[in-house]
């Protein structure tokens, strides 16, 4: 059985490895699941270091580029934005993650409220699940704010 302590970290996220491993165990992750999380973050760490970047550069566009590169390398497991959430939450709690600039609230509030209502009514999600989805989408919507509007062009 793999142990989180056996993951040899390299790259620019080394300062967070030990604390993140402790946090995963504290949250009740099984050793095997924690090891997978640490391997994902180790991959991110090496990827960032190869580009002379560190945790300060972990913005939504950078993370998206990393996940695209990860999938192109053949990774299918832990290759979605959701897979990075435990680590990003850990960094936010440590105040080590850049906070993306929010577009004006009027842009996002209406959109997110409609999305939330759709998740509850049309999709039948529980309130707690809908809340998680809205928070995930909020980061994406932030990246679509251009010139005082939400710009959806170029999406496929």
Q: What is the pLDDT of residue 2?
A: 55
- Give me the mean pLDDT over the 29-39 stretch: 89
Q: Report the DSSP beta bridge partners of residue 72.
A: none
Give the separation between CA 98 and CA 139, rounded to whole angstroms.
12
Q: What is the pLDDT of residue 10?
A: 82
- Give me the mean pLDDT over the 68-88 stretch: 87
Confidence (pTM): 0.60
The full set of domain ranges for the chain reads 4-93, 105-150
Q: What is the pLDDT of residue 145?
A: 66
Q: What is the pLDDT of residue 143?
A: 74
Cβ atoms of residues 42 and 75 within 8 Å: no
User: Tell me: the pLDDT tens digits for 122-135?
Assistant: 989 888 888 888 88
- Of 59, 50, 43, which is closest to residue 91 (Cα–Cα)? 59
């Amino acid at each position: 059985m793999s142990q989180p302590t056996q993951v040899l970290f390299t790259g620019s996220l080394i300062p967070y490895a030990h604390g993140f491993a402790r946090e995963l165990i504290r949250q009740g992750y099984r050793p095997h699941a924690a090891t997978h999380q640490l391997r994902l973050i180790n991959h991110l760490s090496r990827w960032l270091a190869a580009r002379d970047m560190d945790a300060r550069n972990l913005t939504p566009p950078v993370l998206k580029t990393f996940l695209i590169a990860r999938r192109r390398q053949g990774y299918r497991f832990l290759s979605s934005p959701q897979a990075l959430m435990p680590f990003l939450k850990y960094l936010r709690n440590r105040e080590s993650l850049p906070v993306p600039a929010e577009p004006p609230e009027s842009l996002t509030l209406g959109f997110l409220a409609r999305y939330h209502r759709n998740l509850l009514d049309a999709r039948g999600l529980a309130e707690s699940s809908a809340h998680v989805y809205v928070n995930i989408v909020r980061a994406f919507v932030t990246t679509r704010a251009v010139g005082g509007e939400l710009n959806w062009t170029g999406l496929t």
